[in-house]
Chain A
Amino acid sequence: EVQLVESGGGLVKPGGSLRLSCTASGFTFSDYAMNWVRQAPGKGLEWVSSITRGSGYTNYADSVKGRFTISRDNAKNSLFLQMTSLTAEDTAVYYCARLLGSAWFSGYWGLGTLVTVSS
């Protein structure tokens, strides 16, 4: 069974940094590209970032480009999102998601981790 467990969320002050982690199990992690998707409280879904299997290609939403960095450690079945210069607009539940196959939509989702940016 595919399992994705996010961690690292919490309360951070504006301008601060946070590193999210996602631990994967139930599949061969290195075989799949991965996404981060977020959802602000009471709002819709927003794609944040994607990374290919071997980390050779990454992409970011304009809203986070230059501030967030996606990475992965295939040996540890882990996906990361390093977030810097956080603002209140980054407050959201952050979901780690695995592609179903090779197309970029998310087939499997974690339960999410809440990031709150507030002073």
Chain B
Amino acid sequence: EIVMTQSPVTLSVSPGERATLSCRASQSVSTNLAWYQQKPGQAPRLLIYGASTRATAIPARFSGSASGTEFTLTISSLQSEDFALYYCHQYNTWPLTFGPGTKVDVK
């Protein structure tokens, strides 16, 4: 099973600042990596797939990148609606696995 790790567990950021979230896969997943945002009481929302492709209607302030087994989600200028949980997800190999999540909260 491919283990996904995310860091930090919690990221405290002020509105308007940049947020950088990291995700690491225990082995290669190529670029078969997605990012999801989840707010309390809501279903996850797809942000990024293919490591760097924004999903439909996702603002340009969200971007994804990859380097080997390391993946990054960057939110260039945090808006109030961006404070949430973020999960990375590999879909390269069965079983499909998710990271434990990074919570982005208000500093």
Contact = CB atoms under 8 A, between A and B. Distances in A.
Interface of A: 35, 37, 44-47, 50, 59, 61-62, 95, 100, 103-112
Contact of A50 (B34, B45, B49, B96): B96
Given A105-B34, A105-B89, A112-B43, A100 B49 contact: yes
A31 B50 CA distance: 21
Nearest to A103: B91
A44 B101 CA distance: 7
Given A44-B101, A45-B89, A106 B95 contact: no
Contacts, number: 55
B46 A106 contact: yes
A103 to B, nearest CB: 6
Smallest CB-CB A-B distances: 4 pairs: A109-B43, A47-B96, A105-B91, A104-B91
Interface string B20-35: 0000000000001010
- By size class, the interface of chain B is 20 to 34
Nearest to B48: A105
B55 interface: yes
A50 B97 CA distance: 13
Contacts of B94: 59
A112 B43 CA distance: 7
